[in-house]
Amino acid sequence: MNYLDKQNTDPWFNLAAEEVALKSSSDDILMLWENQPSVELGKHQNAMAEVNHPFVLEHQIPVIRRISGGGTVYHDHGNLNFSVITTVENRERSIDFHQFAEPIILFLKQFGLEVAFHGKTNLAVNGKKFSGNAAHVFKNRVLHHGTLLFNTDLNQLEQSIRPAEAAIRDKSIKSVRSEIINLQTLLPGIPALSEFQLQFKQFLFDYFSITQSRTFSKGELTEIQQLVDEKYKNPDWNYGYSPAYQFNKSGKLLGRKAELTLEVKKGIIVDLQLQSALLPKHLIQSIQHQLINKPHHPQAMNTNIQFLEPQLQTDGITASALFNLLI
């Protein structure tokens, strides 16, 4: 196994880098990395159901879909991420969370911490989760990765991935909310994430018998950047890759209760119904005309509402009020 040192905190780059390391190289790989504040969705989740969009938009926290399953997680500079990529002989038995969690359990046992599984994929101490894990299989290669909360901003975490205010009916994978804890509170002898990462890295080098480190080649970096541009920064992947869903939300327009229902398929609004006592019929029809057959994600909603803004102002409605109802 080789240690792949990427030293990058760009969340789009880091997710693309994992995919390139999984699909374009043949060596077994270990990576340890941090991300700037960001929200990562599981592959089969609905972004509109999992994320508190008003909060992440206000704080400029990107929402990105990863290739592995599981639930939504929050990353920041207080969270250490690990990735293990291996080649396997039997695809059917390639995902083993207990196997890949063993080094974490053994490492923390050195500090007197008794780590146990919390559900199928999470790790916890005294019932409080500090690590979420996920996996993805590509041909005979398997990616296993996870988070280690060390001194993450827990308030920002909870606000970012708080379930949406809207009532959403779909068949997507739902995140399981758990009580969480930062490892720093349990490890008073390790004051900073940098020290924790150094000790964990040394332990993993011994555990996996790692003798070589490398960085990405020029060709790999080109491939990563292409994947960032075409996939990981593309709303079609981050929002459109989702099961069909019905989005129901209540709000206020013109000081009166407004009820919105969207039918969304492959990320596209196929039907929109808006009811409010004071809304003129012609305005509702204009909103339907502008938004039906458009993508349902914040960037697209903001762009399309701008075309409606003159009419909204005429009828006494702010663009922000309509935008907040739609997300």
The per-residue pLDDT for range 287-318, each reduced to its tens digit, is 999 999 999 999 999 999 999 999 999 999 99
Cα dihedral 160, 161, 165, 171 in deg (nearest 10): 150
* pLDDT tens digits, one per residue of 197-234: 999 999 999 999 998 999 999 999 999 999 999 999 99
* Structure tokens belonging to residue 208: 């996996």
Q: For residue 242, is pLDDT > 80?
A: yes
| Single-letter amino acid code for the residue at 207 | Y
Mean pLDDT (the chain) is: 94
Q: What distance in Å separates the CA atoms of residue 10 and residue 170, rounded to the nearest whole number?
A: 31
Query: Is the pLDDT reported for residue 172 higher than 70?
Result: yes
Measured at the alpha carbon of residue 121, what is the angle toward residues 24 and 118, in degrees to the nearest 5? 160
Read off the pLDDT band of 79 (50, 70, 90): very high
- Separation between Cα atoms, residue 45 and residue 138, nearest integer Å: 19
What pTM was estimated for this model as a whole?
A: 0.93
Give the model's confidence band at 286: pLDDT under 50 very low, under 70 low, under 90 confident, else very high.
very high
pLDDT confidence band for 170 (50 / 70 / 90): confident
Contact yes or no for 293/272 (Cβ under 8 A): no
- Residue 87 β-bridge partners: 141
Q: What is the pLDDT of residue 119?
A: 81
Q: Quick one: pLDDT band at residue 88, thresholds 50, 70, 90?
A: confident
Q: Is the pLDDT of residue 86 over 90?
A: yes
DSSP annotation string for 121-148: TEEEETTEEEEEEEEEEETTEEEEEEEE
Residue in this structure with the two tokens 């975490």, named with its chain if needed: 157
Helix axes 298-314, 319-326, angle to 10 degrees: 140
Sorted by where each starts, the structural domains of the chain and their CATH numbers stand as 2-240 (3.30.930.10), 245-326 (3.30.390.50)
Model confidence at 163: pLDDT above 80:
no
Decide if pLDDT at 117 tops 70.
Answer: yes
Q: What is the pLDDT of residue 165?
A: 76
pLDDT at 91: 65
Q: What is the pLDDT of residue 92?
A: 63
pLDDT at 255 over 70: yes
